[in-house]
Structure 1
């Protein structure tokens, strides 16, 4: 990515137009607002604004605009829409999604990065979060107040994209999906109106933004329900040689019958350096509100004599959210993530994926950082909400799996993309044969070529109607575009 950005910066310096034309362009985009506008002529600041978590998510926009207040956004939308042809509009919160949904080739990116304020209510029962905040911002405020919220596992993930997609959390087994803990929200609509939405105000919009993604407006503020602090939290890694795969899967199956809502596991297939041999890593999260809970939870895994065990207690979710920082520093920046929901972690399915992953990473050394991640946590609270209660429809008990494709070269990129897509589909097909039905996709793990029916299931007809109501001209087209139904 560094090379690409340096090339882009050099290109921008060599092709800079006269200052007056730059000023006219910026003034027209942000006329009457306090927003900051960056173009190619802005040099390094513009290059930095294009940066995303994955280099494969970077597209070169014509303008990147940073609103500093909610009222900045409607004039920006109006100007982009008035041009002939209109400028494509993308919205960036954290930029962590591995698609290009938060980028635009030649269009306009509304970057919410300056709208990142987090406020804890005086009674500590709610947390108000602006749409450009990241979970690290939220957890910093919660740390000071000694509370928690149902939020994301990584500090760098944007609140807006995470929440509108659904939001699995370490706290989901106790408190449900993140969207089930939104009290109200403020949304900038395609027509420029800024509206409050809740169960009693614009209830259709409130339904749509909880799982319908970025198709109904720009959510610039969320009010989240605060939950009691239940730390410290044990986290870390328990690693095994690949030869232990059968034993690890056996313990996982046994553990599924005993776990409580106070813990969850991620099981990953990876090739850690320096030897890059196939390995299985168990990544636990355990609430230590009860003495020695983690010792009891992790005992069956430790009985397998792992080669690595770095698990330890950390004080709060801010520390938890930084748990992957060391890995992220060395991970190849070419990243594609696809994921799907599964009814169960079937042993033969896990083993089949293991064998295919080992073969792929062996044959494609430039893509050997590609990994498989299975999440195991309680889903009773997910299933306690009706599938029609929010736009997020997957309310039957389920787990999920994410295939994280990473490569270090352009020559391995195509093979990596193919493996990620193929493996995702094979898992879905395998699960359908076992369970008798397709568990579905998760919007935040989609890449945009999935069908609307696969992503939104039975809630799609209502989403199409609400698209016609709130975005009749189809302004919001990035992501999984929902065609409005005017009938």
Structure 2
């Protein structure tokens, strides 16, 4: 690609986007004031900057963007939206990472929590209090200074709220479970404007629902997480192989899994790096603590086949670890479409078929060659200690997560990428069901919105519907995987 094109394409996309016809919902004039900011299209560049999302596929044009500066700013916004006839669509933005437009609105209202981003350790350092607009980098910075860790995202720019409401699979999940398994309490602004605290003893049904139930029960404006002693330093590596070596790599992964412990983790990726853009396999091993047996842990990946690149180094803590991919994401195409699901294993014939489909897709068009596949193999057994009915996240048997990602800089490639990610995700889900006899469903954090609530929540859906009837009977929250309130 010519120099400068990566910078020019997103700008052209914005120009085309804002020349397109706009769908507007008539609204009553604002009749209230908040201490935070309110932006409309008349605010020009500031409004455009506020629309930006990690994936440009997720950018829509609301009539108003509210930035509450305190919790009391939120109830009047909700009242304004719900008192219009018809009610105005509401979207809530935390980190803005989801590749679906769940944190955006076309003609409605976005409540952007960016100013509610405070992070504070408890006096005894046993927990950390995090506002809903914080990203994980904010949390890791505070914990770094106290030599503590918390179960969070491997990427610093991911929003705490969306990550947690989807379950929260992180680098420390092998040792400490999901983020929701470490959630002690939360503060939620309900659809009717009430601000409530929820915990195992306060609004316990709400506490159950927000732990994996997504954005369907209110705006979670504060989380309190359990902290853990520092797990660092972390040994991290990058091993790259030719794509034709995949059968050998899959065999090496099975050998590695046989001795995997809670403090080790592996990512498997299919990608096409420049300048040749030939299919490659990348392994990202990750080992917590001062592991003296790093060479032994990595041996299966070195003795099976010599990597084209073998780079291993040490980072001190989660804050440093979470910035490890900054350069890659800065250069990646901005239009991302992603689907994710859970699998019991990475079976050889399944992964060979996935590789073939990915290779054919990325060879078929220059526009989509940055599309990729990723599997996360975090030690799964800590997650299984929680009963499937104890939280809204119901997949509690040993599993890993799998994602298929369509990337491009051109709007014209979106449909091709959507078809690709849907096809591969469907194939993997059906394969996993056939092998295990159980449908693990789709993962809400990497869903596209056309999945059914049953696909996401499984047998926990009935209880979630009852919680929806209690906390949002009028369906104010309509973005994402919508849960229908249970009827009487």
Q: TM-score category by the smaller chain?
A: over 0.9
Shift of 1:179: 0.3
CA distance in 1, matches of 2:293, 2:82: 56
Shift of 1:368: 0.9
CA distance in 1, matches of 2:66, 2:18: 18
Shift of 1:415: 1.2
Aligned to 2:65: 64
Aligned to 1:3: 12
Aligned to 1:299: 299
Aligned to 2:248: 247
Contact residue 333 and residue 407 of structure 2 kept, 8 A: yes
Shift of 1:81: 1.2
Contact residue 255 and residue 300 of structure 2 kept, 8 A: no
Contact residue 371 and residue 403 of structure 1 kept, 8 A: yes
Aligned to 1:484: 485
Contact residue 190 and residue 196 of structure 2 kept, 8 A: yes
Contact residue 236 and residue 323 of structure 1 kept, 8 A: no
CA distance in 2, matches of 1:8, 1:97: 20
* SS across alignment from 1:464: helix
Shift of 1:10: 8.4
* SS across alignment from 2:337: strand
Aligned to 2:312: 311
TM-score normalised per structure 2: 0.94
Q: Structure 1's 11 and 388: CA in aligned 2 closer, same or farther, altered over 3 A? A: closer
Shift of 1:236: 3.4
- Deviation string 1:23-54 (CA, Å, 9 cap, x unpaired) is x95x53xx242021000001111000000000
Aligned to 2:198: 197
CA distance in 1, matches of 2:192, 2:241: 55
Aligned to 1:16: none
CA distance in 1, matches of 2:418, 2:16: 25
- What is the total number of aligned residue pairs between the two structures? 473
CA distance in 1, matches of 2:332, 2:64: 29
Aligned to 1:18: none
* SS across alignment from 2:79: helix
Contact residue 182 and residue 225 of structure 1 kept, 8 A: yes
Q: Which runs of 5+ in 2 are unaligned?
A: 1-9, 22-26
Correspondence 1:257-276 to 2 at 5 A: 257-276=258-277
Contact residue 241 and residue 280 of structure 2 kept, 8 A: yes
CA distance in 2, matches of 1:472, 1:242: 51
Aligned to 2:129: 128
CA distance in 1, matches of 2:293, 2:442: 33
Aligned to 1:233: 234
Shift of 1:437: 1.8
RMSD over aligned CA atoms reads: 1.6
Aligned to 1:93: 94
Shift of 1:441: 1.3
CA distance in 1, matches of 2:286, 2:119: 25
CA distance in 2, matches of 1:267, 1:309: 15
CA distance in 1, matches of 2:323, 2:293: 22
Contact residue 262 and residue 286 of structure 1 kept, 8 A: yes
* SS across alignment from 1:237: strand
- Deviation string 1:317-341 (CA, Å, 9 cap, x unpaired) is 1111111111111111010110111
Q: Give yes or no for the alignment of 1:375 onto 2:384.
A: no
CA distance in 2, matches of 1:311, 1:483: 49
Contact residue 91 and residue 111 of structure 2 kept, 8 A: yes
Contact residue 266 and residue 376 of structure 2 kept, 8 A: yes
Shift of 1:2: 2.2
* SS across alignment from 2:281: strand
Q: Give yes or no for the alignment of 1:256 onto 2:257.
A: yes
